[in-house]
Amino acid sequence: MAKFLPINKDDMKERGWDQLDFVLVSGDAYVDHPSFGVAVIGRVLENRGYKVGIIAQPSWQNVDDFKVLGKPRLGFLVTSGNIDSMVNHYTVAKKKRNDDLYSPGGKSGYRPDRASIVYSHRIKEAYKDVPIILGGIEASLRRFAHYDYWSDKVRRSILLDAKADLIIYGMGERQVVEIAEALESGIPVHEITFIKGTVYKTKDKDRPYEPLILPPYDEILKSKKRYAESFLLQYKNIDSITGKQLVETYGSHYVVQNPPHEPMTQSELDDIYSLPYTRAYHPIYEKMGGIPAIKEVKFSLISNRGCFGNCNFCALTFHQGRVVQSRSHQSILNEAEKFVQEPDFKGYIHDVGGPTANFRHRACEKQEKYGICKDKQCLFPKPCKQLKIDHQDYLGLLRNLRELPNVKKVFIRSGLRYDYLIHDKNDQFFRELCQHHISGQLKVAPEHISSQVLNKMGKPERKVYEGFVRKYHKINENLGKKQFLVPYFMSSHPGSTLKDAIELAEYLRDLGYMPEQVQDFYPTPGTLSTCMYYTELDPRTMEKVYVPKSAHEKAMQRALIQYRKPQNYNLVYEALVKAGRKDLIGFGKKCLIRPSNVGTSLKANKTKGNRTIRNHKRKKQ
């Protein structure tokens, strides 16, 4: 039976270990499941014969928790967890969240802001001479100077702020093994400058070999144009075949990014997912209410990684990359066969997917030899002629899973690219999706309907989504099923004016639908949209981009999407007046709101909309 990796000296003693080779420090609670990066890296190293322990969510006020496993022989591996610690802690309105699905009982407060930096500093206090290697999404997306939404500043590379030795960017399994082997062979950590998919720092300007030089840090601090130029160079060098070594200058220091590592082969992925995970959270959390994040993934299957969808607001391009890698059917079936025997399995596989569920292969054959295109996208603005659109492999996998004993239903809950699906001339997958793999409703993400906003998002034009909707309803009608679509929309994305937000509100009015959830654009590190948000430039063209930045305008754009909610009345009224659209205030069928509520609502001054207005005025004062 699989054992958890050691979390204390007693666990080490039970294994007969006096010292560990590596200690993993994580901002998440310890969940030994392949959906959790720490579990994967720990098991990969264990499989290579290294002694590995885990310090999960250490108290950061002093160094005591960082010494609980003793000094590791080779190094500390540090991550904030599965989510950037700032995103984990704060809403887009910069309000503190009360919950944390990756912590005991779902409660917040178990990790610090900027966890990777704080943990690294404490480790340095405890053991000055032990190598520190950063990994995970927080470090990966902050590997160069980056706009930090929460402080509204451009921060340095996290490598410098954390005073760490290396960053592993991307998924990291290959890199961590190569680093381990280099350290094991006696190479000092400051000499480990040759591993793909890593970032190092140096004072030797001649160490990088024929690199591309990014604008220096002091220049991008002063010039948003230079920031955009730097981002574009990074954006065009994310492929393992075409990517160049990149250098960012900080006075006498240089931060050097080696080209990305090659995508994983199918057999390598299969090996990773066959490692002896317990597929559970550590028993120490049971009395604390467990770890909520396990619920959705415990009976889910990761089918792939990477995404060629390349939405501008998504950081996957910089983290997992645009080359899709997939596991074999047998590997996925083997994993499913393990958990369908568990006593709490109720017959439902919750998901079979990844970043994009219906991507199971590279976008085109050309990528294997020449890499991804630097100046073209696979699906935007229209599908590339070279794009391979085929769902047969994914369909075969789903059919095999449906045939497993004790399986009642196989759901797909990962995002589906409807624009990829609608262009498949073979309707077989679409029919079986509606027949077998959804339960009453399908969630999709058109994000917006304004052509101006969609263009800045990197999403297909409105008519593509409308074509998908028609086909979805037709297929369900033919199947005799009454199933619905739940579209997700985003407010306040760069490029979105009040006019665009009203256009979306009118679309929803005509649809007779009001979304229960709206995602306000969140400028997280590593996305093209965040670059546009900060610089107000499109880095690809250097054209000016309108960006809604004030809290009040963002509140108005969000309220317009949910214009029927009484608490949004005043914000919607103000937005319509400001945009010169009083024709939408009245009693006609095309009106969004009625005029009769204005006096009473404004006088009462108790709605959420008024609170937003008052708070905005205080901030301006």
What does DSSP say about strands 198-202 and 253-257: parallel, antiparallel, or unpaired? antiparallel
Rounded Cα distance, 447 and 561, in Å: 11
Rounded Cα distance, 176 and 269, in Å: 15
Confidence of residue 381 (pLDDT cuts 50, 70, 90): very high
- What are the phi and psi torsion angles at 270 (to 5°)? -60, -40
Domains, the chain, with CATH or none:
9-201+250-257 (3.40.50.2300), 299-439 (3.30.750.210), 443-621 (3.30.750.200)
Q: Which two tokens stand for residue 520?
A: 């306000």
The DSSP 8-state label assigned to residue 593 in this structure reads B
DSSP bridge pairs for 257:
199, 246
- The percentage of residues in the chain with a pLDDT greater than 70, rounded to a whole number, is 96
Rounded Cα distance, 279 and 36, in Å: 10
CB 53 within 8 A of CB 69: yes
Residue with the two structure tokens 């037709």: 474
pLDDT tens-place string over residues 91-147 = 999 999 999 999 999 999 999 999 999 999 999 999 999 999 999 999 999 999 999
pLDDT tens-place string over residues 215-270 = 999 999 999 999 999 999 999 999 999 999 999 999 999 999 999 999 999 999 99
What sign results for the dihedral spanned by CA atoms 100, 105, 108, 114? Answer: negative
CB 115 within 8 A of CB 122: no
pLDDT of residue 323: 96
Q: Which two tokens stand for residue 356?
A: 């994009």
SS (H, E, C) 265-322: CHHHHHHHHCCCCCCEECHHHHHHCCCCCHHHHCCEEECEECCCCCCCCCCHHHHCCC
Rounded Cα distance, 420 and 51, in Å: 44
pTM: 0.93
SS3 for 76?
A: strand
Rounded Cα distance, 236 and 586, in Å: 50
Q: Given a cut of 50, is residue 598 above it in pLDDT?
A: no
Confidence of residue 596 (pLDDT cuts 50, 70, 90): low
Apex CA 239: angle with CA 236 and CA 244, to 5°? Answer: 65
